[in-house]
Chain A
Amino acid sequence: MSKPDDEKKYWLDEPKNIDKVFYAVLILCALVAVPDILSLLNILYHKHIEFEFENIFEFYSLYGLVCYVGLVLIAKKLRNVLMRDEDYYD
C-alpha cells in the first residue's frame, strides 16, 4: 500500500465534480420523464398497461422515488430497534 497523498488527483476527488454527477442524474431523470409528459399531450407514446393506475402521470417515476425514500427512512428507524454491537453474539 502506498500513501494516498503522493498520487495523482482523480476526477471525483474534486467536490464540484460530485455536484456534476448529481446534476447528470437530474438530467437523466428529466429525460426519462419526457415520454409521460408527451403522452399528456397525446403524442408519440403509448404504454401497454395492465392496471388502470399505471396511467397516472409519471406513475413509475414517482413510485420509484417514493418507495426508495420510504424504504431508506423506515430502515433508518428500524436501526433503533435492531442495531446492536458488532460483537453482540460473540
Chain B
Amino acid sequence: MIEGLNPGFILIFGALLVPFTNGIIRSILLLTLPVLALAQIYTLGLGTWGQYEFLGLSIELTRIDPLARIFGTVFCLAAFMGMIYALHVKDTVQHFVALIYIGSAIGAVFAGDMVTLFVFWELTAISSVFLIWASRTERAYKAGMRYLIIQVSSGVILLGGIILYYQETGSIAFNYIGLTGLASGLILVAFGIKSAFPFLHNWMQDAYPEATVTGTVILSAFTTKLAIYTLARAFPGTDILIPIGGAMTVFPIFFAVLENDLRRVLAYSLNKQLGYMVIGVGIGTELAINGTAAHAFAHIMYKSLLFMSMGAVLFRTGTIKASELGGLYKSMPITMIFCIIGAVSIAGFPLTGGFVSKAMIQSAAADGGMVVIWLVMLFASAGVMDHSGIKVPFFTFFAHDSGIRVKEAPKNMLFAMGFAAFFCIGIGVFPGLLYELLPYEPTYHPYTAGHVITSLQLLFFATLAFALLMRYKIYPPELRSTNLDFDWFYRVPLKWLALYTGRLILIVWNWILGIANNIVYSVINTTANTHGNGKILARTTASSTAVMIIVAVLGFVVVFFYRFLQQPVPM
C-alpha cells in the first residue's frame, strides 16, 4: 500500500469505484475497504506521514498516535459492521455516500493539522446528509436540511477559529489547544456542536431517527465520536467541559423516558453517553482520557447494536413507535437476544463493555474528589437502565402483545448484530485487549468485588423500581406524541421571527421601491411635458425667430446691466 496514505482515503477512493460495480462485486468491495483501512492503520504503525508545505501552511495528512489509533480502529470495525448490516440495500447513492462519510471521519481522526481536519470535517457533514435524505420522505428532507445547516455551521465556525488561531500562534498543527481566547473558543464551539453539547444537540435527535434503517446505524457511530476525539486531542482538562458533560448526562434521559420513537430514544441515550465522554475529557487525567477512549470504543459497539436491532424491527414491521410495538419476542427472538445484549452493555452490567469502560471515568472523577459530578454520573447510570436498558427492549419485544407477526431479521442484519454483540461481551470479559489500545498506560482494574457488587446493586434496584412502577401502573404509558426540546426555539419562534422579518423587509422594500418609482415617474413625466413630442422645448422654431429672441435677450441684458452697473455698489 502507498506509504503513509491516510487510511480514510482508502474508503474515499474506494467509494469512487462503487458506481461501477453491482451485485456480489459491490458487496465484496464494501466489506473489503474497511478491512484494508484497518490493515493500513496497523501496517503503518505509529508516526507521521505526508507533510507538505502549502501556501506557507504545514500540512500533515497522516498522523497515527495511540489516541488516534483507538478511534480509527473502532471506526473501521464500525464501518465493517455497518456495511454487513447494509448488504441487502441496493441503493448506490447510500453505499457511495456512506463510504465517503466513513472515510472522511477516519481521515479526520488521522489528520495531523487543522486544515486537513477542517476539510474532512465538512466532508462528513455534506456526505452524511444524503443518508438522511435517502429515506425520501418530506420529514427526512426537512430534518436533513436542518442537520446540514447546523453541521456546515460547525465547519464554518471551526474554520474561523483555525484562521484566528493561525494568526495568534502561526501554527495549524492539531495538538493540545486549551481554552484561552476567542480562537480556541470558536474551535471548542465547533467541536461542541458535533459533540451535541446542551442546546447545540438537537440536530441529532431531530435527524438521526429520520434516516434510513441502515443510515441511522452508520450515522450513529462516526460524527459524534469524531467530535469526542477532537475534544480529547485539543481540550483535555478544560474545566468547563465537566459541567457541560454533566448536563449532557442528565437532561437527555428525561426526554428518553418520554419519547415514543425508539430510534429517537436511542439518540437521546447516545447524547447522554457522549456526556460521560465529555466529562472524561474535562477531567483530563490519564485515567479519564483512557476512560473516554475506552468508552467511545465500547459505546460504538453497544449503541450500534441497539440501533441495528431497532432498525431490524423497523425494517420488518414498518414502525418504530413504542406505542405500536410489543410482543415481538415471539417473531424476532434472535433480534431480541441481541437487543438485550446491547441493553445490558449500555447499562454497564458486569461482563459487558459498558462495565469496563464507563467505570474508568467514574473512578477518575472520584480520584479528583468531584462529589457532585460523581453523583450525577451515578444518577445517569441508574437512568440509562430505564430508557436503553429496559424501555427499548421491553416495549419492543415484551409489554402488551401488539399482534404484529413478522419474519426474523434478514441474515446479514443478524450477522452484523452478532458481530457487535461479540465485541460487547468480548470487551467485558477480556477488558485487557481493549486496554492495550488505550492512549496511556492502563492502570484500572474493573473486576474488584466492590465494583461488581455496587454496580449490581444499583442496576438491580433500578430494575426493581421499574418492576414496581409497572406493577402499580405508575409508569407513564407510551403515547404517540412529540416532546418539545430545544429545537422548538428554532423550529417555531425563530421560524416565525424569520418569516415575519422577511415579511417586514418585503413591506419596507416595497415602500422604498414605490417611492423610487414615483420619483422616476415624475422625472419622466416632467421631461415628457417639457421635452416630449410637440412640447415647448422640443418644438422646432424658425431661425429668424431664434435670432430675434437672442437679440431681444441681448438687448435686455445690455440695457439692464448698463443701468445698474452705473450705480455705486454700496459697501
Contacts and interface: CB of A to CB of B under 8 A. Distances in A.
Contacts of B363: 50
Interface string A43-73: 0011111110010001011111101110111
Contact of B383 (A10, A58, A67, A76): A67
A60 B454 contact: yes
B106 interface: no
A90 B491 CA distance: 10
Given A46-B450, A60-B454, A72-B386, A29 B460 contact: yes
Contacts of B462: 64-65, 67-68
Interface residues of A, number: 53
Contact of B482 (A7, A35, A84): A84
A71 B386 contact: yes
Interface residues of B, number: 60
B467 A48 contact: no
A1 B327 CA distance: 14
Interface string B356-397: 000000010011000100100011001101100000000000
B257 A71 contact: yes
A60 B385 CA distance: 14
Contacts of A42: none
Nearest to A19: B471
Contact of A64 (B329, B382, B451, B479): B382
A60 to B, nearest CB: 4
Interface stretch (B149-157, B401-409, B418-426, B562-570): B401-409
A41 interface: no
B463 interface: yes
A32 interface: yes
Contacts of A83: 258, 479, 481-484
B464 interface: yes
Interface in B444-494: 448-451, 453-469, 471, 474-476, 479-485, 491-492
Given A48-B448, A68-B466, A72-B386, A58 B457 contact: yes
Given A26-B464, A51-B374, A89-B491, 18 more contacts: A4-B403, A10-B329, A22-B471, A26-B467, A50-B374, A64-B460, A64-B465, A68-B461, A74-B254, A81-B484, A82-B258, A82-B483, A83-B258, A83-B479, A84-B484, A85-B481, A85-B482, A86-B260
